[in-house]
């Protein structure tokens, strides 16, 4: 990947999203899925589109672990897998970045995150390894889905809207590589 001004700006935007995780916020109201969707949409080199958002999340998880012991947990791999899938969703957005498509991708990402991470919670055995346990796990997670949904919509507006504004103001950011 060529580290031109456009890519530097995109990476900085994603890193700022990761930093925002450290500020107080409602449950699940985080920039994680928006970072993945944005990276998948605008970082043209696909390996960097995966690496930058996921590495940002991982580094912030390390800091959380060192600071208060909450960065790592048994089913966290499901968070990373959902971020990789949401990054792929960003690939489908390329060249189609309109309000409607971004909103649909944001909602789809929220659902992917909800389904995968709560399936991961179920795999820990807390709810029992039955279909009833799986359904109980999903039902118990419904209150957290509101934060996921609202956080994803908010941060996608910030990322995609902010980048659209920056491109409008700074012509060098309009160039795709």
Residue 38 lies in a domain: yes
Q: Rounded CA gap, 108 and 149, in Å?
A: 10
Residue 120 lies in a domain: yes
Residue 17 lies in a domain: no
pLDDT category of residue 176 using cuts at 50, 70 and 90: low
Residue 37 lies in a domain: yes
Structural domain including 155 reads: 28-164
Q: What is the pLDDT of residues 35-50, one digit of tens each?
A: 999 999 999 999 999 9
Number of domains in the chain: 1
Residue 15 lies in a domain: no
Residue 8 lies in a domain: no
Q: Rounded CA gap, 133 and 109, in Å?
A: 24
Range 25-30, long-range pairs (CB < 8 A, 24+ positions): 25/151, 26/147, 26/150, 26/151, 27/143, 27/144, 27/147, 28/144, 28/145, 28/146, 28/147, 28/148, 28/151, 29/147, 29/148, 29/150, 29/151, 29/154, 30/151, 30/155
Mean pLDDT, range 81-87, rounded to an integer: 98
Q: What is the pLDDT of residues 139-171, one digit of tens each?
A: 999 999 999 999 999 999 999 999 999 999 988
Residue 68 lies in a domain: yes
Residue 5 lies in a domain: no
Mean pLDDT, range 91-119, rounded to an integer: 97
Mean pLDDT, range 96-112, rounded to an integer: 96
Residue 116 has pLDDT above 60, yes or no: yes
């Amino acid at each position: 990947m060529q580290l031109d001004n456009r890519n530097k700006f995109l990476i900085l935007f994603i890193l700022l999203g990761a930093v925002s995780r450290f500020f107080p916020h409602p449950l699940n109201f985080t920039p994680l899925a928006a970072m993945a969707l944005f990276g998948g949409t605008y970082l043209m080199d696909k390996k960097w589109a995966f690496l930058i958002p996921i590495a940002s999340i991982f580094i912030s998880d390390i800091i959380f672990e060192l600071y208060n012991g909450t960065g790592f947990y048994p089913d966290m791999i499901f968070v990373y897998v959902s971020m990789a899938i949401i990054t792929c969703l960003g690939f489908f957005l390329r060249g189609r970045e309109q309000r409607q498509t971004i909103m649909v991708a944001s909602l789809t990402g929220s659902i992917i995150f909800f389904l995968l991470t709560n399936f991961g919670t179920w795999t820990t055995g807390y709810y029992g390894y039955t279909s009833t346990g799986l359904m109980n796990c999903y039902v118990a997670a419904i209150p957290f889905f509101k934060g996921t949904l609202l956080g994803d919509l908010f941060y996608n507006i910030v990322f995609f809207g902010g980048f659209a504004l920056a491109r409008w103001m700074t012509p060098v950011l309009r160039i795709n590589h």
